[in-house]
Amino acid sequence: MLKQNDDGTWIVYYQDERGNKDTIKTFTSEEDACEFFYNLVTTRYEKAKPYIRKNIE
């Protein structure tokens, strides 16, 4: 997830199904945070792609 803190910094963090949060990285720039988040999500998707079922019926 991506969120702006009250102090203006941006954090990329993981939140599990129980609501526990683990900060991955903190940024001062929204642009840098978004770029990092995008790269993180696309990388994880590419790694998971072989395990994703294509035809769920």
Mean pLDDT, to the nearest integer, of 37-54? 90
Mean pLDDT, to the nearest integer, of 32-51? 94
Place of tokens 């998971």: 48
DSSP designation for 50: G
pLDDT value for 40: 95
pLDDT value for 55: 63
CB-based burial label for 33 (10 Å; 0-12, 13-18, 19+): buried
Quote the strand ranges of 1-57, DSSP E: 2-4, 10-15, 21-27
